[in-house]
Amino acid sequence: MKINLEEMTPQELEDLQAKIEKAKEKKHRENRKAALKAAEAAAAEFGYTLQELVGGAEKPATRGRARAKGGDAKYRNPENPSETWTGRGRRPEWYKAAIESGKSPADLEI
């Protein structure tokens, strides 16, 4: 099928473009569905579901430095005890202000 774009009106070109976009989307959906089906079949050959292999599985431990345990607060804002900081990451404004006002980190420890 040959199409002479030079002879088409702007409206015909727009209609053709819309048809092309719909056809591309349909092909992408079909290809994705076929790829998913093939991946599920490959996982099944080894006795797994695809979800077991790619969805929610734990990641292997990383090498090098151990990751810090989060959540345990080390410092507390004396003016607002609900504000705490673990001592990791960016220093909170209340911590900076307390240090600038003459308090030591030991004064802020929990």
Torsional class of 28: left (φ above 0), alpha (ψ -120 to 50), beta (otherwise): alpha
Which amino acid is located at 43 in the chain? Answer: A
Distances from the Cα of 33 to the Cα of 9, 63, 105, 108, angstroms: 36, 36, 58, 57
Distance of CA 105 to the CA centre of its chain: 35
- Please report the pLDDT score of residue 52 as a whole number: 87
pLDDT tens digit at each of 110 positions of the chain: 788 999 999 999 999 999 999 999 999 999 999 999 999 999 999 998 988 888 754 555 556 555 555 568 899 998 998 899 998 889 999 999 999 999 999 999 98
